[in-house]
Amino acid sequence: MLILTRSLGETIVIGDNIHIVVRQINGNKVRLGIEAPKDISVHRLEIYERIQNENVEGFDLEFETLDDNQDYDKD
């Protein structure tokens, strides 16, 4: 993990096209601005984890539905 110190208004660059700007500091909270291409998703960790869980649950449900509808040769 890379640890950086930035002040208000300073920027961190990731790759060629992602910029993270310190927009506001209020006590122990920092507000960041993130500029990234539209094809790159940017989420808070708790939202990302929820999306991942919903994708897994959706896949499991789809798999169960497909499995229930399969015709198996019974010998």
Chain segment 17-38, per-residue pLDDT in tens: 999 999 999 999 999 999 999 9
Confidence at residue 63, expressed as pLDDT on a 0 to 100 scale: 52
Residue 57 pLDDT more than 80? Answer: no
What's the one-letter identity of residue 44? R
| Predicted TM-score (pTM) of this structure | 0.67
Confidence at residue 29, expressed as pLDDT on a 0 to 100 scale: 95
Residue 65 pLDDT more than 60? Answer: no
Q: Yes or no: say if 28 and 20 are a contact pair by the CB < 8 Å rule.
A: no
| Alpha carbons 30 and 33: distance in angstroms, whole number | 10
Helices (H), 1-75: 45-68
